[in-house]
Amino acid sequence: MIAVIDYGVGNLFSLCRSLEAVGQTPVVTGDPAVLRRADKLFLPGVGAFADAAEKLRRTGLDRVIREEAAQGKPILGICLGMQLLFEESREFGTWQGLGLLPGKVVPMEGVVPQAYKIPHIGWNGLHFPAGRRHPLLAGVEEGDCVYFVHSFYAAECDDVVIATAEYGAQLTAAVARGNVMGCQFHPEKSGTVGLTILKTFCEGEW
């Protein structure tokens, strides 16, 4: 069973439709018992880091996610969901994340050139670190474009970066360590490339 974690943050409709398009029957739930029975978990999210992190804590889902990750269950965070996997965020303050990946989420302002609009919205090509081609992206070619919407990005996390995107600077686009993975972009809004990534995660052994 594929489960999409529902904690009151984000539009889950497009993700579920994309999962159905690759042959899955996703269950959208915030029930810890159902999440524990699932084979794989998606952690979506849009909006503010602090609000999302608080909702996870208030519902106890932060503990569930950490425990399931520790037991080896594959988890894929998307956009804000990816950012929540890190140790902390500097989004209008300092906020604690789930701590499943090393690094922190920081503003793009001051990193990308002033001529570049923030938030970063649009299609950008993926680039792979030399000698590091993660199985999650096995069906993706260098330069394939995916869709981004974000103003903050994951930094100080070189050891877990599996793809970057150039937006006046090389920004973290996808990350992975063991069974914990994340995409800063929206695979559910990224056409065939995004569907390929979702299918790979759902069908892969991690």
Q: Which pLDDT does position 132 carry in this prediction?
A: 78
Structure-token pair, residue 44: 């979506």
pLDDT tens digits, 71-113: 999 999 999 999 999 999 999 999 999 999 999 999 999 999 9
Known catalytic residue at 88: no
pLDDT tens digits, 122-152: 999 999 998 778 999 999 999 999 999 999 9
Please pick, among 120, 134, 150, 186, the residue that the annotation labels catalytic.
Answer: 186
Taking CA atoms, 102 is separated from 11, 83, 170, 204, in Å, by 27, 11, 18, 24
Domain boundaries, the chain: 2-203
Known catalytic residue at 188: yes
3-state secondary structure of 142: coil
Known catalytic residue at 150: no
Give pTM, 2 decimals.
0.96
> What is the edge-to-edge ordering of all strands in the sheet holding 101-107?
95-96, 86-89, 101-107, 152-155
Supply the CATH classification number for the domain 2-203. Answer: 3.40.50.880
Please pick, among 79, 157, 183, 202, the residue that the annotation labels catalytic.
Answer: 79
Taking CA atoms, 27 is separated from 19, 22, 24, 30, 106, in Å, by 10, 14, 10, 10, 32
